[in-house]
Amino acid sequence: MPIIILILGALGGALYWWIRQNPRDAVHVAQDAVTTARNAPRKLAFRRQHNAHPVEGIDDPNIAICALAQAFLELDDLPTLDQRKQLTVLLRAKMRLSAKDTEEMEVLGRWLVGQCQTPDAAVSRLSRRLYKINGDVSWDLLQDVLTGLVSDELSHAQIDAISDIKRALHIR
């Protein structure tokens, strides 16, 4: 315990010394940290609701499409690095996003798929949420992304997922 107190004291002393030497920089760093933390959920159009599944907090159809594409990749097995890179390229090209926005969206999408426990559950839940957000308007974009991800034949699980997506989006 005394060692922890000594380490915390040393860190506090170093921080105090830095603030005294560079007060303007310290204020800007603190403001940037607070602003970044405050705006991160808004930037991703995600809001956490109490007593609701995290997927219900999605307000941006692009996030739902990204998470759906990741769940689609995981239906057979964990995606390879090449598949993840291909998804990144497709998202940037089709949605016209920056590299940073795409990375943040992919991290959030992987987390959302993980919250659904299985890729099958994620596909059905995310499809229903996408319909609530945007109706069937996003089908063309989603279809372009999924088509770009498939290099060989579709597996049985992926065919079932596409039929689930169509059913959720009321596509015939």
Token pair belonging to 163: 């039929």
Share above pLDDT 90 across residues of the chain, in percent, rounded to a whole number: 12
Distance between CA atoms of residues 1 and 6, nearest Å: 9
Distance between CA atoms of residues 28 and 34, nearest Å: 10
Distance between CA atoms of residues 60 and 67, nearest Å: 11
Beta bridge partners of 58: 46
Mean pLDDT on 119-134: 91
Domain boundaries, the chain: 2-43, 54-168
Q: What is the pLDDT of residues 135-170, one digit of tens each?
A: 888 888 888 888 888 877 788 888 898 899 989 888
The pLDDT of residue 131 is: 92
Q: What is the pLDDT of residues 20-68, one digit of tens each?
A: 777 777 777 777 776 776 666 555 555 555 677 888 888 888 999 999 9
Instruction: Give the confidence band of 126 by pLDDT, cuts at 50, 70, 90.
Output: very high
Break the chain down into helix, strand, coil percent, rounded to 5: 75, 0, 25
Distance between CA atoms of residues 146 and 33, nearest Å: 37
